[in-house]
C-alpha cells in the first residue's frame, strides 16, 4: 500500500510534537513579539510622560514656595521648550 501525504502537514504535525516549528508558526511568533514590544514601548512612553509632568509640577511648586516668581518659572519652561537643542 502506498501512502501519499502532504509533506507540509506532516512536518507541521511532527514538528509540533518533537519541538520543531513550521515556518509559518515562527513568523506568527515574530509578529506577536513585535506587536507586544510595540505595546510595551507605548506603555513605557506614556508612563514617562506622566512622570515628567509630575516632576514639572513638583519643580514648579518648589520654586514658587522658595520665593521665585511663578510666572518666571513658566516663562523659563517656555524658553526651554522652544530652544533648538530641545526640539530635534
| pLDDT value of residue 47 | 94
Question: How confident is the prediction along the chain (88 residues), in pLDDT tens digits per residue?
Answer: 555 545 555 566 665 555 555 568 888 999 999 999 999 999 999 999 999 989 888 988 888 889 888 788 778 778 877 776 655 5
The backbone torsions φ and ψ at residue 4, rounded to the nearest 5 degrees and listed phi first, read -110, 130
pLDDT on residue 39 = 96
SS (H, E, C) 52-75: HHHHHHHHHHHHHHCCCCHHHHHH
Euclidean distance between CA atoms 19 and 42, whole angstroms: 33
Residue 69's pLDDT is what? 83
Tell me the pTM. 0.51
State the virtual CA torsion across 74, 79, 81, 85 in degrees, nearest 10: -150
- For 21, the grid coordinates are 516549528
Amino acid at each position: 500500500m502506498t501512502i501519499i501525504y502532504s509533506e507540509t502537514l506532516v512536518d507541521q504535525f511532527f514538528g509540533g510534537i518533537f519541538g520543531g516549528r513550521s515556518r509559518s508558526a515562527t513568523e506568527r511568533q515574530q509578529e506577536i513579539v513585535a506587536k507586544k514590544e510595540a505595546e510595551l514601548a507605548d506603555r513605557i512612553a506614556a508612563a514617562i510622560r506622566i512622570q515628567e509632568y509630575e516632576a514639572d509640577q513638583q519643580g514648579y511648586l518648589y520654586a514658587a514656595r522658595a520665593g521665585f516668581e511663578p510666572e518666571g518659572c513658566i516663562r523659563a519652561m517656555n524658553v526651554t521648550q522652544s530652544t533648538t537643542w530641545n526640539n530635534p
